[in-house]
Structure 1
Amino acid sequence: MKQIMRKLSLFVLAFTALFTAFAQETAKAPKQKKVYNLTDRSGDHIMFQIAANFWPGVPDSISSHIKGFNRSANLYVMLNKPFKSNPQYSFAFGAGISTSNIYFKNMEVGITATTPTMPFKATDSTNHFKKYKLTTAYLEIPIEFRFTSNPETPSKAWKVALGAKVGTMINAHTKGKNLLGSNGGTINEFTQKMGSKSFFNTTRLSATARVGYGNFSLFSSFALGNLFKDGVAHPVKPFQIGLCLSGL
């Protein structure tokens, strides 16, 4: 009987010690969540982008006439809304203009043609423009889900953003400068500008991504739909890669 009481006493003492240790552990103050002061940070900002444009998958008959660097510029006004639960994360939306230029060598794009398909006419052995480009412009609404390593000092923080943008085409035109003969001699120094949206899908949805440090980041934008209407030209889903200047 004494042995049983001794074992029971040891068990009670061990249980009491374990319970006391557990109680002390749970009684410790929980780790405090970092509080960010964003009172001096503006919620709206400008986002300016310059980029190179690409037409992936077009046939050689077209890609062989596309020049190497096809530049574009985008400008948006954005409103940033940090999450109250964690200001490192935020949601942003805005509006702006996106432009794209594709430069051709010895080729004309018949965007004003009355044919069922849009012609891409090679002009290697005939009169051609010294400079020739196709320009498109969209009014867009971008949205982004953002993360920043330090929301209090965004100019000294790493940033990542994933998003999308939807836009409507406001302009599409070709522009040729200085007409040359087949031998390269100048025929006429003038500028020809022709505009039409009839062959284009005028609504565009694109996926976007950005990563960078401070006010600068690398960005990409990929169109989820075709640039041209079905059946009028080879399917083209343009994408951009470039540099973004933004406060947030």
Structure 2
Amino acid sequence: MKKILLAVFSAGMFTVANAQIKDTLAIEKPKETKVKTDWKKIDLSNRANDHFMIQFGYDGWTNAPDSANPGGFSRHFNFYFMLDKPFKSNPRYSVGLGLGFASSNIFFKDTYIDIKSTTATTLPFKNVASADHFKRYKLTTTWVEAPLEFRYASNPVTPDKGWKAAIGFKFGLMLKAYTKGKDLLNSTGSSIYGKGYTLKEYDKKFFNTSRVAATARVGVGNFSIDGSYSLTGLVKSASGSTVNPYSIGLTISGL
């Protein structure tokens, strides 16, 4: 009988203790109070947020003339020096503006572009596969550009350690336009003057010498994927197809 009473007493004590534990756990924990960051008290004047940008990647044309025959890896190389102005109320957002240099190289196969023509009214693209032609041939345009960006950085104190994105525009003035051919071949494919032979021809008369392009980029830290699309045509409207250049590439940024 004593054993039975002892067992009942033990079971009762266990039940009471278990109930007390559950009641203790059921007590609501006090809510944590979130402290709002006062960005006005944080000095962000020396933060690294893309004060320089180097860009490299692929270039292409929309609305290219049917007579053009692109071939090879067309590419661009750009670099810009930028000022970054964060919003006082929320420095995750900022405005970037700057100045820099851009170049575009569009390669062609079995093509000659007569940019120095004094008789043609439209930019002449000539197929020269069955005549003398260059093994490597490109059209290069160089620009001085002023980019303007609306920026976002997930980590406003150290933007080079978080996600970042930007959209904007860049405004450019053409410095040069020229064609460059290397290693002139005859119709049978034999080199005429040797591999070291190079010919450059300069002229801007067929081209619009100012442009506006829409830009965007997104990335992490100092590396971003960028893209741009020219809203103005490369070739003058009276000189042939409008031709809207576009680019996709990599941005390396910092400082």
TM-score bucket of the superposed structures, by smaller chain: 0.7 to 0.9
Deviations 1:2-21 (A, max 9, x none): xxxxxxxxxxxxxxxxxxxx
Residues in 2 aligned to 1:58 and 1:44: alpha-carbon distance in whole angstroms: 34
1:226 — aligned with what? 233
Equivalent residue letter for 1:173? Y
Picking from 99, 111, 116, the partner of 1:95 is 99
Counterparts in 2 of 1:76-155, with a 5 A limit? 76-114=80-118, 115-155=120-160
Flag structure 1 segments of 5+ consecutive residues without an equivalent: 1-28
Q: Contact conserved, 2:149 with 2:169, CA < 8 A, in 1?
A: yes
Residues in 1 aligned to 2:50 and 2:223: alpha-carbon distance in whole angstroms: 17
Q: Contact conserved, 2:141 with 2:176, CA < 8 A, in 1?
A: yes
Residues in 2 aligned to 1:31 and 1:44: alpha-carbon distance in whole angstroms: 29
1:199 — aligned with what? 206
Q: Contact conserved, 1:43 with 1:81, CA < 8 A, in 2?
A: no
> Given the alignment of the two structures, is residue 183 of structure 1 paired with residue 183 of structure 2, yes or no?
no
2:247 — aligned with what? 240
Q: Contact conserved, 1:97 with 1:137, CA < 8 A, in 2?
A: yes
Give the 3-state SS of the residue equivalent to 2:67 in structure 1. Answer: helix
1:55 — aligned with what? 61
Alignment root-mean-square deviation, CA? 1.8
Give the 3-state SS of the residue equivalent to 1:134 in structure 2. Answer: strand
Q: How many residues align?
A: 218
Runs of 4 or more, structure 1, over 3 Å off, are 33-37
Give the 3-state SS of the residue equivalent to 1:116 in structure 2. Answer: coil
Flag structure 2 segments of 5+ consecutive residues without an equivalent: 1-32
1:20 — aligned with what? none
1:45 — aligned with what? 51
1:161 — aligned with what? 166
1:32 — aligned with what? 36
1:12 — aligned with what? none
Picking from 217, 232, 239, the partner of 1:210 is 217
Q: Contact conserved, 1:179 with 1:187, CA < 8 A, in 2?
A: yes
Give the 3-state SS of the residue equivalent to 1:169 in structure 2. Answer: strand
Instruction: State the percentage of identical aligned residues.
Output: 49
Q: Contact conserved, 1:225 with 1:237, CA < 8 A, in 2?
A: yes
Residues in 2 aligned to 1:218 and 1:87: alpha-carbon distance in whole angstroms: 22
Equivalent residue letter for 1:241? I
Deviations 1:184-235 (A, max 9, x none): 0111132110000000000100000010000000000110011011121212
Structure 1 or 2, whichever has the larger Rg, is 2
Residues in 2 aligned to 1:169 and 1:33: alpha-carbon distance in whole angstroms: 45
- Cα pair distance change 1:247/1:136, threshold 3 Å: same
Residues in 2 aligned to 1:186 and 1:207: alpha-carbon distance in whole angstroms: 42
Residues in 1 aligned to 2:72 and 2:60: alpha-carbon distance in whole angstroms: 9
39-48 or 100-109, larger mean C-alpha shift: 39-48
